[in-house]
Amino acid sequence: MGLDMFAFRHKGEEIDQNTDRNKLTSTPREPIMFSDWRKHNRLQGYFQELFDKRSGYHFMGNFNCIPLYLSKEEIEMLQKQIETRTLPETKGFFFGQDSYTWEGEQQDMKAYDLKFCKEAKEWIDKGYKVFYECWW
């Protein structure tokens, strides 16, 4: 068990568990995963804060298994925090140790995160919706 994290893209309208699919004006295509992480708690903290800001919730359990659609501007803000290593420290029972203390092969996580930002912005420019989802 632990924090599993994914980034998806799809064409069509934004969808979530409350979407009435009968009222959609276009049929969303099946989401395609293009990035994934395991127990990257600082990245989770960024997305959790974004979710809290949008929803008004301030309890971690509300964000589990819920798609969080991202704008190009939000991804650019994320990119800046990755580049400056200022992602928020985030604790959780299933989240593992602080992802900024990783050593060895995990040190390339910054490059992987920046690659995610670059690809996400490119998908958005091509007309795709991009969303993040976590599961713990």
What's the pLDDT tens digit per position in 7-66? 999 988 776 656 655 565 555 567 899 999 998 989 999 999 999 998 887 665 578 888
5 in a domain, yes or no? no
Is 37 within the bounds of a domain? yes
Q: What is the pTM of this model?
A: 0.82
Across all residues in the chain, what is the average pLDDT? Answer: 84
Query: For residue range 55-68, what is the model confidence (pLDDT) as tens digits?
Result: 887 665 578 888 99
Taking CA atoms, 80 is separated from 33, 46, 57, 77, in Å, by 23, 12, 25, 5
pLDDT of residue 88: 87
Distance, in Å, from the CA atom of 63 to the CA atom of 25, rounded to the nearest integer, reads 27
Cβ neighbours of residue 52 under 8 Å, at least 6 residues apart?
58, 63
Give the pLDDT of residue 116: 98
The pLDDT of residue 97: 74
- DSSP assignment of 5-51: EEEEEESSS---TT--GGG-SSPPPPPEEEEEEES-HHHHHHHHHHH
Residue 72 neighbours by CB under 8 Å, 6+ apart: 121, 124, 125
Region 117-134 average pLDDT: 97
Residue numbers of the domain that contains 96: 32-135
Whether 77 is in a domain gets the answer: yes
Is it the case that residue 130 has pLDDT exceeding 90? Answer: yes
Residue 105: predicted pLDDT: 47
> Is residue 76 situated within a structural domain?
yes
User: Are 58 and 100 contacting, i.e. CB atoms less than 8 angstroms apart?
Assistant: no
Q: How many domains does the chain have?
A: 1
